[in-house]
Each structure stands twice: as C-alpha cells, then as structure tokens.
Homo-oligomer: A and B are copies of this chain.
Amino acid sequence: MNTRHDCQQLDLQDPLRELRDQFVIPAGLIYLDGNSLGMLPKATAARVAEVVAQEWGQGLIRSWNGAGWVDLPQRLGDQIAAMVGAGPGQVVATDSTSINLYKVLSAAMSIAQQDAPARQRVLSERSNFPTDLYIAQALCRERGFTLELVEAEEIAGRLGDDLAVLMLTHVNYRTGAMHDMAALTAAAQAAGALTVWDLAHSAGAVPVALLEARADFAIGCGYKYLNGGPGAPAFVWVNPLHAERFWQPLAGWWGHAAPFEFSPDYRPAPGIKRYLCGTQPIISLTALECGLAVFEQAQALGGMTALRAKSLALSDLFIELVGQRCQGHGLGLATPLVHEQRGSQVCLTREYDADGRSGAYAIMQALIARGVIGDFRAGDGRQHRDILRFGFPPLYIGFEEVWQAVEQLGQVLDSGEWQQPEFNQAQAVT
C-alpha cells in the first residue's frame, strides 16, 4: 500500500513536477475538478492585464494588426493542432464547443446529403455530453435526419448503410471512459459514414492523433485541460479532405476570403478559416494562449507522452487508494481499469438506496467543505447510481494530493458527517 511518504517520493521523482509551479494553487485546496474548469496559469494575469491596459487601452483599434489580434484564432489553432495530431493551418480557436459542433455536424450532414442522400441517420452515445445531443437534435429536426442514441458497446452494431454520421465524445464526461478513436473511425468509414469527435475531455489530457486516425471532424474545449479560463473559446478541426467542400452555415465575415474588402457577397476563405464566423473575444483568447503556453513548456519534459504516463499513474494511484482506504462505504468505479480505455479522470459511484438517494451529492459537498474539490454528476436514470467525479490534470496535480484527497474522502465516509443537513441542501447549478 502506498503511504503518504511513498506519494511524496513519487512527487520528488516526477519529471513534470516543475510544471505545477506554473499554476496558482490556492492554499489548502486540493483541486480535482480541472476537467471542468482548469486552474489559472501564473503567467495569465500579467498577460491579460497587458492586453487590457496596453493593447486595448493604448493601442486601441491599431492592435488588430499591431498586436496580432487578427490571427489569434489561427495562431492558437496551430498550437492546439500540435496537441491533437493535426497539422498547422487545420485548427482555429473560436466560439464555443456547442457552436463549433453545429458547424462541423452541419458540414458532415451536408456532405452525406451530397454523396449519399439515403443516409439520414446520426448515431451517438446516450451518455454523450448533453449539449452535443441537443445540437444534434436541433440539426436532425431541421434536416429531417434521425438521431439514434445507444450505449457504448452497441455502437459497432449500429453502423448500417443508412448511417450518415457517427458523432462521439472521445472521453466520456460522466465516466471517464475513452473510445478507440482509430478503430471506431475506421469502422464507421468502412460502413460509409463520417465521424465527428468531441475532444472536450481529451485535448491536453490524453494523446490524440486525428490525422493518423483519419477522423473527419473534431471540436474541443478551451477551459478544461487547456486551462484557458472560464468559458474560454473552443476549437474546431476539419480534415483537409473536407475543409473546402462545404460552406458551413455560420458564414460570418471572419470566415470570408477577404473580410476587409466588405464585399456584399460571401466567398468562403480557403481551409479552416471558413470555420470562423464573427469577431472573437480577444481578452478570453489571450487567457487561452497562456494556458497553451504551459503545454509548450511541457514539450521539453516529454510532452504528451510524459503527461499521459503521469495522468495514468495518478488515476491508478487514486483507484488503488480508494480501494484500500474507503472500503465498505458502497463506492463503485465507473471508470475503466484498462489504460487504453481511460481518460484523465476517475468516477466513483454510489448506488441508490430504497428511497432513490445515493448520498453522492452530500458526500461531495462534505469533501468540498474539507478543501477537496471534485464534482457530482447525477445518474442518468438508467443505472440507479450517482457519480463522484475526480479529474487528474497531470500538469499540476501531484501524487501526495491524491493521497490527501482519498484520506479526506475516507474521513468523510468514516465519520458519516456527509449526512448532516448542511450537505444535503438543494443542489447548486454547476
């Protein structure tokens, strides 16, 4: 069994340990919710202040060119591309994940309508992140397509010749389970369908090889593992095979071939730039740039390979310690033990009791009161259990923190303190 001392040793041996110093770590806090909102890099505050005071305040309109605001979505896109196995000029950082999904799912559906009009089905996973399902519902409604939702293990059996698009989130937000992107992409394409991958819980968390997997479209989030700040702009990638086949519907001026000609006629820009729409929030993009800069530093320390090794070591340790320290409290594991099927988070479960209550929400509230932040996700109503979710972003989480988190969780469960009324009040909105 790993003791606290063992974990301290693991931190001392961690080749990525210095990256933790790049982040603001609130005193007394163990933050295992970076899969929801990543931590603040130390460099961000000064850079954001400079953009506000100097680039905006003094430079004003001149900064669109003078400070390079005008191509920030592409510059950041190139950095993200390198992290997800895409090429330069193939990604832009822009808008929200939901909006980017709308762009690429529209594009995929339109390509399917052109190439194979009989294919009018979009397939996804029932436990996909809801916004993905909502966007797909709206588009299917509009285009007369059907949206079919299945369990992960049913996907392979539902790739029929009426399938237009397989739309999946690579790492499941609720369980941390990771799909085999290359295998599912190959299977979907063999069945004649296109693939859309949501990398919200993948970019910066696990290795992704979009071009190698021959994926068709991908989108992802800037505020989780990329540490871009609350509501940071998201990103979108389109395989160059498809990039110019389609006018994406959000055809705003930033996606025009020559936006400052102010022509009344839309002429889409070549390549990924046509996936831009309107003017982007420069201050928020700047914060995202600072988040990405930490990954540039990580390159010298082994990059994504080293980050992935540490991430798995952290989640393995958490699972092992929970098994030892928290026995007898009805905790289960929703996250796969197999490394190839695991993202960078671990999800514990608690079954419903006779009254349909799992206690998971109150347990998480009690844990948060002790300074360990994870989050709660309600069950999906089919499995009679709720979820306690813990994220392990390898850039800043340490092994001793994992030990401390489990120790606190053990104390919460042993003491029964989570049953106090204060932890059982109405659930907050996030």
A residues in contact (CB < 8 Å) with B: 24, 26, 29, 31, 33, 36-37, 39-40, 44-45, 48-49, 52-53, 55-58, 60-65, 69-70, 95-99, 102, 126-131, 133-135, 137-139, 141-142, 149, 174, 223, 229-234, 247, 249-256, 259-266, 277-285, 287, 373, 375, 377-378, 380, 427-430
Contacts and interface: CB of A to CB of B under 8 A. Distances in A.
B65 A429 contact: yes
A284 B266 CA distance: 28
Contact of A52 (B26, B45, B261, B428): B45
Contacts of A63: 230
A71 to B, nearest CB: 9
B229 A282 contact: yes
A44 B287 CA distance: 16
Closest 5 pairs (CB-CB, A-B): A96-B278, A98-B252, A98-B278, A281-B284, A131-B253
B52 A96 contact: no
A139 B281 CA distance: 24
Given A97-B279, A250-B135, A282-B231, A37 B65 contact: no
Nearest to A71: B429
Contacts of A39: 57, 60
B279 A57 contact: no
A429 B99 contact: no
B99 A64 contact: no
A65 B430 contact: yes
Contacts of A279: 96-97, 223, 230-231
B262 A69 contact: no
B280 A96 contact: yes
Contacts of A278: 95-99, 131, 234
A44 B40 contact: no
Contact of A373 (B49, B60, B223): B60
Contacts of A49: 45, 48-49
B138 A61 contact: no
A251 B52 contact: no
Q: Which residue among A133, A253, A377 has the maximum number of chain B CB atoms within 10 Å of its CB?
A: A253
A249 B139 contact: yes
Contacts of A55: 230
Nearest to A138: B251
A128 B249 CA distance: 19
A185 to B, nearest CB: 23
A238 to B, nearest CB: 17
Contacts of A377: 262
Contacts of A429: 64-65, 70, 259-260
A61 B287 contact: no
Contact of A60 (B26, B141, B253, B285): B26
B60 A31 contact: yes
Nearest to A279: B231
Contacts of A133: 264-266
A48 to B, nearest CB: 5
Nearest to A97: B278
B250 A138 contact: yes
Nearest to A59: B26
B256 A134 contact: yes
Given A45-B52, A231-B279, A264-B133, A57 B40 contact: yes
A37 B230 CA distance: 24
Contacts of A265: 133, 137
A65 to B, nearest CB: 5
A95 to B, nearest CB: 7
A378 B135 CA distance: 39
